[in-house]
């Protein structure tokens, strides 16, 4: 808790008012989500342009494109590629596109935007990078795109892996 924020200072007779105390959050804000095999991942919120859920018919399939790509969509007047994030990371479980809506995370860096289709959005949480550890038992296809992981429950062997959006956007896999 912040003991006496500057905006509460006044005549010198002011007392700290508990209802105006601001909780100090540690770390940064991350979006949490699952890929089709129900492995949990996260992305730094500041690198996300938008999170949308859309009908599969809004994604236009492109013939002869990489099998990682589901197609394209119009995101506020801009055509962007949409990829199955799980398959991009080397997971063998394909995203089920036979459903009412597909969650898509639009990530952006400089002038490049890509939509990452995922199984389910969990929500937003604050995490501290100081507690991030190196991912040890991950497939070789996934390792280049990870910055590390947080251990959520050691007994249950539950971890939250942090993806590197720069590595994803700059990957040669898009050309495949």
**Does 22 map to a domain?**
no
**Does 2 map to a domain?**
no
**Does 12 map to a domain?**
no
**Does 6 map to a domain?**
no
Distance (Å, whole) CA 12 – CA 82: 57
**Does 9 map to a domain?**
no
**Does 129 map to a domain?**
yes
Neighbours of 71 (CB within 10 A): 18
Distance (Å, whole) CA 171 – CA 145: 9
**Does 18 map to a domain?**
no
pLDDT of residue 111: 84
pLDDT at 143 over 70: yes
**Does 14 map to a domain?**
no
Answer yes or no: are the C-beta atoms of 90 and 139 closer than 8 Å: yes
Neighbours of 95 (CB within 10 A): 21
pLDDT tier at 117, thresholds 50, 70, 90: very high
Domain that holds residue 125: 28-175
The CATH number assigned to the domain holding 162 equals 2.40.50.180
Q: pLDDT tens, 31-71?
A: 999 999 999 999 999 999 999 999 999 999 999 888 889 99
Domain count, the chain: 1
pLDDT of residue 157: 78
Distance (Å, whole) CA 14 – CA 163: 46
């Amino acid at each position: 808790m912040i003991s006496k924020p500057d905006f509460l200072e006044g005549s010198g007779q002011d007392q700290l008012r508990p209802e105006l105390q601001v909780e100090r959050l540690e770390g940064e804000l991350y979006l949490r989500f699952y890929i089709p095999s129900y492995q949990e991942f996260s992305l730094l919120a500041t690198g996300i342009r938008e999170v949308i859920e859309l009908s599969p018919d809004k994604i236009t399939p492109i013939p002869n494109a990489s099998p990682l790509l589901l197609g394209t969509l119009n995101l506020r007047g801009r055509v962007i590629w949409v990829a199955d994030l799980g398959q991009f990371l080397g997971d063998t479980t394909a995203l089920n596109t036979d459903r009412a809506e597909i969650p898509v995370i639009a990530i952006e860096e400089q002038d490049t935007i890509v939509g990452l289709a995922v199984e389910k959005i969990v929500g937003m949480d604050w995490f501290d990078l100081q507690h991030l550890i190196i991912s040890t038992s991950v497939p070789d296809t996934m390792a280049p795109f990870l910055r590390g992981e947080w251990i959520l429950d050691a007994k249950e062997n539950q971890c939250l892996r942090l993806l590197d959006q720069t590595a994803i956007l700059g990957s040669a896999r898009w050309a495949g």
